Structure 1
Amino acid sequence: MRNIATCKAQRHRWALLPLLASLGLALSACSPNDNASTPGQKIDAAIAKSKDVAADVKVEAQTALSNAQARIKQDGPKVEERAKDVASTTERVIDDVAITAQISASLAKDSELSALKIDVDTKDGAVILRGPAPTTAARDRAADLARAVTGVRTVDNQLVVKAG
């Protein structure tokens, strides 16, 4: 008797299977499906979206390039002028260093001035001599040596003659 009951239960299970499958299909057909597109339609939509994004990026890049070109036009002359100023300043500093070196070399060659510590400062061709001088003549000669160097505009002779 147990075999007969088991068989009836198994038949009922098999009979329920098509009924459940039909019910599942019916429910899935009734459920709202917003994304009813095919894989091909999904690919086409993704391509279209990519094209839109690419177009937006292109517009943004063109705008950025346009802005950069405008800034270059606007600021270009300022940058060029600043570069010229820097070059001019650098040239003056190099000239001042060369003037100082030439004056120091001339002073070192003079027998009365070579043993002394004479400071030579140069800015924009204006020379200042500071330190001791053994005599008034040596003091004047130091100023003359400085004036003889090319590029010197003025000489401020602050050398002090040592007493006795």
Structure 2
Amino acid sequence: MKHRTLLIAPLAASLLALAACDNHKTPTTDHETAGQKLDSAIAKTERKTDQLQAEAKVNAAEAKQDSSAALNDAAITTRVNAQLAADPKLSAIKINVDTDNGRVRLSGTAPDSEARDRATTMASAVSGVVTVDNQLKVEKKS
């Protein structure tokens, strides 16, 4: 009998170990293996990376377009200021020139209505100007 107990105990332990291994050996459809989880995480990371790269390209293109527009506006403002400075009646007057997307706004004062109108004509002639909003006030003579 003693001999029989010695044989049954290891056999029972082995059967329990096999049963435990078998439960973890085959995953059910509800559970992913470690490899499947890793593959899923890699795919998700690749999709996110692709999305971020696409967004970065769009942002870079928009930034380039914005900086290009700002440079164009600055160049237009400079050219309009140069035109106004060349006019004898307007050169002595401080005229503010603001440009936004090719739309020029003139503000300040003009010595007379003729000079005010000439400022509009001169600004309109500058390359890249889309419209001119002339807000110049005619100086009152005392």
Aligned ranges 1:1-164 → 2 under 5 Å: 67-164=44-141
Amino acid at match of 1:151: G
TM-score by length of 2: 0.67
Deviations 1:8-64 (A, max 9, x none): xxxxxxxxxxxxxxxxxxxxxxxxxxxxxxxxxxxxxxxxxxxxxxxx9xx97x887
Q: Secondary structure at the match of 2:97?
A: strand
Q: Secondary structure at the match of 1:113?
A: helix
Q: Percent identity?
A: 40
Amino acid at match of 1:75: L
Q: Return the structure number with greater relative CO, CA threshold 8 A, min gap 6.
A: 2
Match of 1:28 in 2: none
Aligned equivalents of 1:87, 1:124: Cα separation in 2:
14
Report the Cα offset of residue 70 of structure 1: 2.3
Report the Cα offset of residue 75 of structure 1: 2.2
Q: Which is higher, the Rg of structure 1 or of structure 2?
A: 1
Q: Secondary structure at the match of 2:132?
A: strand
Moved more, 112-121 or 77-86: 77-86
Deviations 1:50-104 (A, max 9, x none): xxxxxx9xx97x8876554322212222211111111111111010100000000
Runs of at least 5 residues in structure 1 that lack an aligned partner in the other structure? 1-55
Q: Secondary structure at the match of 2:106?
A: strand
Q: Secondary structure at the match of 1:157?
A: strand
Aligned equivalents of 2:41, 2:128: Cα separation in 1:
49
